Amino acid sequence: GNKLHRYAGLIKCAECGSGFTARKRKLKDTEYVDYTCNSHHRYGKEYCTPHTIKENILDEIVENEVKSLRDKILAESDRYDSIIKDWLKKKPMYEQQINANTDKIQTLKQQIEDLIMERIGDREHAEIYNEMIRKREEEIAALEKNTADLKEYDKVCRQQKEQLKNTTQILDEVLSESKISDVNLRMLVNKVIIHQNEDRSIDVNLEFNGDFEDKVIE
């Protein structure tokens, strides 16, 4: 049934790039599902090693990885908390800076107006005036950018923190289930890459879907 294909299409072999085949097994009275590299399943060991892994082991690994992702996102959210607190402390200073920038921009604009008028009466030195005007225009652009950055900083931090909080809530809901549902599994996980070592032990690497991966800034 449906449970058999819980990881269908999600698992890839690190060695040959093939997908995995799900099989129902029985050990004594216990039924379980395992996954084996498709190439090995079809063409045998000359082509690839089995990479066999049980579904319940995959479930444990996925759950631990989701918990770890949630912890990383919480830590990132806390970091934004302290950035916002720091910003609030410095807010009066930033506001002074914005006012100073505004005054300076007005002064520079007036200077440009004056230089344009002077240039009209002194055509032979037009290039010198042009250079003086250009420098002031560059200074205005830098001040305007600085002002915009100061105004945006708080907003951007708050938005980022809100997004992180929402993502944490989604992950909390996913983890509140006794077992991560098939739907949530596919919402979170893009790929499960399985590598078999020489001692036959297995390494599992998870690739989360972009929306979740991008929330964590390494």
The DSSP secondary-structure symbol of 180 reads -
The predicted pLDDT at position 4 comes to 53
The DSSP secondary-structure symbol of 47 reads T
Least confident of 76-85, 88-97, 121-130, 170-179: 76-85
pTM comes to 0.66
Average pLDDT over residues 143-167: 86
Determine the distance from the C-alpha atom of residue 201 to the mean position of all C-alpha atoms in its chain, rounded to a whole number: 31
Average pLDDT over residues 42-67: 88
**Whole-number Å distance between alpha carbons of 99 and 108:** 14
Residue from 74, 90, 93, 95 nearest 161 by CA:
74
The predicted pLDDT at position 145 comes to 95
Domain boundaries of the chain, sorted by first residue: 2-213
Q: At what angle do helices 126-176 and 55-121 cross, to 10 degrees?
A: 160
**Whole-number Å distance between alpha carbons of 216 and 218:** 6
The predicted pLDDT at position 213 comes to 64
pLDDT tens for residues 82-122?
A: 888 888 888 899 899 999 999 999 999 999 999 999 999 99
Average pLDDT over residues 189-212: 88
Q: Is 58 exposed, middle or buried (0-12, 13-18, 19+ CB in 10 A)?
A: buried
